[in-house]
A and B are shown apart, each in its own frame.
Chain A
């Protein structure tokens, strides 16, 4: 287990290194940050001086070496727009995104498991057909559209829910949370529903088809033959094996969900990482851009590591390489 985790940490560093070089390679194509931090009437000479001061005139490899040197000390560079270290900005915005992803993951888990299992056990019932039909519709509407429609229906038309932002937040030891206020929860409803709308149908379908396959397998037949109670068969024996592929896909999808927050957060002016990334691209805030990519890369590595560990726990036949 220790060897496994050490290997993963080494891998994480490698991934971060690759991501940072890709980030560095693209940052020169997102535009010149100097245009974004000066008024349009500023003279060319003045702009050139600023560029020199920021070290933007150095060759790219020197800039990259300087970046790596600083990164080794935990300094990912300065965000031009926020006028703060990029890492601080990321950490500041991370809670918003993590809370959003957490809540929509909960929605997905709480809804997809019972619905998927139900549809697998009673595939012919009308409710199952409605769920499956609905999931087709859900998976084919873009998250962006769902978000906009949600705002127009629930905020503009009915006036039940707030249309944008995180609402009142409470600072708990540097973590700005929206979980502790009613206002914060109200603001969470629409964004988390629209974010989960993309993954929910997928998981319902995945769980259903896996479960149906497991229910056909031999050991389940034996279980029936042995006269086990049906709930024990469904929810203990069959469900456990259904979960295996779901966990794998879920791990990957969690990363994708973080990426999907870009759309959701932009529509709802949700001040998280996805929104931050959009803005950083538009403002050519290159340090922030690279820092974001590295942060998301790190989350992906961590999530995948956790998924591998959980996988081993759920299915003892799959041993994590390196453990005895």
Chain B
């Protein structure tokens, strides 16, 4: 008992000391914590947020969607299939190993083996080291998105991850569901090292003292990341001062946080578009473009953005948001009930028809409420919709099996490029190539396919933009899908945190650059 008392006392002292030292530390609450320490094990927002803390990419996105040098100081295109990167010198990994071109070659090789990343790196032949600090990225064909993909090349320490661990297993193995060396050990070049990890409970990141980026204004030495799953609890934790920063912020609490002293809300438009797909294989009616147009005209998506999303969404008339190459200024939301009714009459369905709809209820912000609103809006043009909502754990199976006539899907392009939306959501479904993987509407327009395939190897930015914009126009006129809105991103934190400079449309806050006053 005496021993225990001593222990408790020691802990108390340690805790009080921790707060006495004047190092800036950040208590961060997200809805989930990283599923692994291996940046290549799963492609998800959470893992990329983690990767930006512990690793560094060759280049990264700025807030304005341009590229910012990180491990690559500069780059140049040396022929149509190759871009040469000149790497930063004097960078070391957390293990102390120096960072060289070999690590990039190794990282790209591993990305091409990773189950989640191999698809994105399919256009690449690989990386080739020219000398210790120069590396060439080679693609199979001219590839306009080479730099976009370089934001995913987070250098891993090839020496650290080579060989076998104490269990005799290869250290470079990528294991999704069990133990692997890389799942529980890290050596990146990033600002933070993982010093404590209790999965799902508490993760502690400490600044790496030999970090190369001395110019960053960031002054946070310790980040304690706690996952808080429940929205209300996460908000309460911020309001009570138990944590300094939360993401995401539930829309129903926007006003509350904005009105509370000492904390503030930061939001910005995002690029995840929420849509409905109208299945032309299941419903004859949906093969008629007039019916599809009538549905688009009947859906008051501005009303949804205003009322259900509390203004924290931008109503959409197309897939790509402003700032993307394919964005077309004049394609606006088109709510017009009279026109919708007229179109239904012209199509020969003045009395409407009955159909089914499915939507998730915990995947997108307010997804089930949005679906309910759309159901009642379609009721006004006499389309009676039977809606079923379900948790995301069950949803994707159903979506994939196309069990309903109208299905909801939201999409954020991994490439941050317009073509990605169409490749997954609206190209003719093709099992061999994998295009149209999430096209549950079975919309198929050869012209769209042709344009998207052509722009995949078009490196001239203007020509490419023209093609992508034409695609958006065709999709708009065909009413290929029902656009709802682009979700806004939201963060909230104490007033002392300068949140806006570190956040971006990808939702990877660059915590290394965070300044706390």
Contacts and interface: CB of A to CB of B under 8 A. Distances in A.
A98 interface: no
B393 to A, nearest CB: 3
Interface string A4-40: 0000000000000000000000000111100111111
B43 A44 contact: no
Contact of B11 (A40, A148, A168): A168
Interface residues on B, range: 35 or more
A246 to B, nearest CB: 32
A204 to B, nearest CB: 29
A278 B397 CA distance: 20
A180 B115 contact: no
Interface stretch (A63-71, A106-114, A121-129, A262-270): A262-270
A39 B230 contact: no
Given A37-B42, A41-B120, A170-B7, A163 B242 contact: yes
Contacts of B11: 168, 170, 180-181
A3 interface: no
Interface stretch (B171-179, B318-326, B367-375, B497-505): B171-179
B200 A35 contact: no
B5 to A, nearest CB: 8
Contacts, number: 147
A297 interface: no
Contacts of A165: 201, 226
Contacts of A43: 119, 434, 437
Contacts of B75: none
A27 to B, nearest CB: 11
Given A43-B119, A155-B236, A82 B200 contact: yes
A30 to B, nearest CB: 6
Given A39-B43, A163-B236, A271 B201 contact: yes
A215 to B, nearest CB: 42
Given A30-B394, A45-B434, A268 B233 contact: yes
B273 to A, nearest CB: 14
Contacts of B119: 41-43, 46
B372 to A, nearest CB: 22
Given A148-B232, A152-B236, A42 B177 contact: no
Given A162-B242, A163-B237, A39 B4 contact: no
B177 A78 contact: yes
A38 B434 contact: no
A50 interface: yes
B216 interface: no
Given A38-B42, A39-B42, A180-B8, A156 B239 contact: yes
B4 A151 contact: no
B199 interface: yes
B118 interface: yes
A271 B43 CA distance: 26
Contact of B393 (A42, A166, A267, A283): A283
A46 B118 contact: yes
A80 B177 contact: yes
Interface string A233-275: 0000000000000000000000000000000001111010001
Nearest to A280: B393
A80 B36 CA distance: 11
B116 A269 contact: no
Contact of B200 (A38, A78, A279): A279
B391 interface: yes
A281 interface: yes
A42 B230 contact: no
Interface of A: 29-32, 35-46, 49-50, 54, 78, 80-84, 148, 151-152, 155-156, 159, 162-166, 168, 170, 172, 180-183, 266-269, 271, 275, 278-279, 281-284
Interface of B: 4, 7-8, 11-12, 15, 35-36, 42-44, 115-116, 118-120, 175-180, 183, 199-201, 226-230, 232-233, 236-237, 239-242, 362, 391-397, 414, 424, 431, 434, 437-438
A-B interface, 5 closest residue pairs, ranked by CB to CB distance from nearest: A39-B43, A31-B393, A155-B240, A31-B394, A35-B396
Given A30-B394, A46-B119, 20 more contacts: A30-B393, A31-B392, A31-B393, A32-B393, A35-B393, A36-B393, A37-B176, A41-B119, A42-B116, A44-B431, A81-B35, A83-B176, A83-B183, A159-B240, A164-B236, A170-B7, A183-B15, A269-B229, A279-B200, A284-B393
30 contacts: A31-B393, A31-B396, A32-B397, A35-B393, A37-B176, A38-B115, A39-B44, A39-B116, A39-B414, A41-B43, A46-B115, A54-B177, A80-B177, A83-B36, A83-B175, A151-B236, A152-B236, A159-B241, A163-B233, A163-B236, A165-B226, A168-B15, A170-B8, A266-B229, A267-B230, A267-B232, A271-B201, A278-B229, A282-B391, A283-B393
